[in-house]
Amino acid sequence: MAAAEAATVVEPPPEVLARLRALLAAVPDPEIPVLNVLDLGVIRHLRQRDDGTIEVGVSPTYSGCPATAVIKADIIQALVRDGFRAVAVDVLSPPWTSDWLSDEGRRKLLAFGIAPPAEAVASARQLLQPQLTVACPRCESHSTTKLSEFGSTPCKALYRCDSCLEPFDYFKCI
């Protein structure tokens, strides 16, 4: 192939795609290990290049997220360990949104004690809503108070339940 020619990329055959998805389901988010990269919704595409290399498109959850480099390295390591040649590429458009969390991911967050984000990011006004009502993931009370815009990671806010008095993280709508 001439240097000026672009590589051809195609969707892998169904059996390879199923194998790749199974491998990715075992790659945890380094900041919230109860979620895998599929639950998180950061995998934007799986493609196979003409040389057989698997290209995994990864959307960072937000610009500058420190976990992105670790996620990409973990994805490559998992695929290489299973015999694939792999490369992870950034997919910046459209930008990741918390709407891409899977329903299973939302259930896992709640079971882990992290309030999942609101159902959908409908507009910029919703993102800037000052009095967001967040239910406590432990007792389900809606009587909660935001203590800090940032929780254990920048993508979460710190809340306290006014009923059971437990602090908890809220996964922000992004």
Residues 16 and 72 occupy one common structural domain: yes
Helix (H, G, I), strand (E, B) or coil at 99: helix
Tens of pLDDT along 138-173? Answer: 999 999 999 999 888 888 999 999 999 999 999 988
pLDDT for the residue numbered 66: 85
- Residue 99 within any structural domain of the chain: no
The domain boundary residue, chosen from 47, 75, 90: 90
Does residue 89 contact residue 43 with C-beta atoms inside 8 Å? no
pTM of the predicted model over 0.75: yes
Residues 14 and 54 occupy one common structural domain: yes
Tens of pLDDT along 39-73? Answer: 999 999 999 999 999 999 999 998 888 899 999 99
pLDDT for the residue numbered 62: 85
- Residue 3 within any structural domain of the chain: no
pLDDT for the residue numbered 64: 82
The CA dihedral of 46, 51, 52, 56, to the nearest 10 degrees, is: -20
Sheet with 54-58, side-by-side order of all strands = 9-10, 43-49, 54-58, 86-90
- Residue 104 within any structural domain of the chain: no
Number of domains within the chain: 2
- Residue 54 within any structural domain of the chain: yes
Domain assignment of residue 143, given as a range = 113-171
Rounded to 5°, the CA angle 128-171-124 comes to 25
- Residue 73 within any structural domain of the chain: yes
84: CATH: 3.30.300.130
Tens of pLDDT along 102-132? Answer: 999 999 999 999 999 976 555 444 555 556 7
